[in-house]
Amino acid sequence: MASLASEQLTAEQARARVEQARRAGLRERMHVELTDAEFDATPGALDRVYEIAAAKARDALRGAA
């Protein structure tokens, strides 16, 4: 049981992996070559990405209507 438990991620490790994957995925989809440090240093970067994505989605829906 102890060896099985040691193979599992802690909650903090799981959160860190999700955050890392999210940042990498966003940069990849947006074709932006930012380092983690650059991304983290940009205040509100993730919020801004969501705003841009929402605007693009609204524009696409308006075009389809």
Residue 6, helix vs strand vs coil: helix
| Confidence (pTM) | 0.39
Domain housing 20? 2-64
**Dihedrals φ, ψ of 32, to 5°?**
-110, 130
pLDDT, tens only, 16-48: 887 777 777 766 776 767 777 777 787 787 788
pLDDT, tens only, 3-21: 666 678 888 888 888 777 7
Q: Structure tokens of 47?
A: 């919020």
Number of domains in the chain: 1
Q: Taking residues 50-63, what's their average pLDDT?
A: 90
What are the residues whose beta carbons fall under 8 Å from the beta carbon of 9, sequence distance 6 or more? Answer: 17
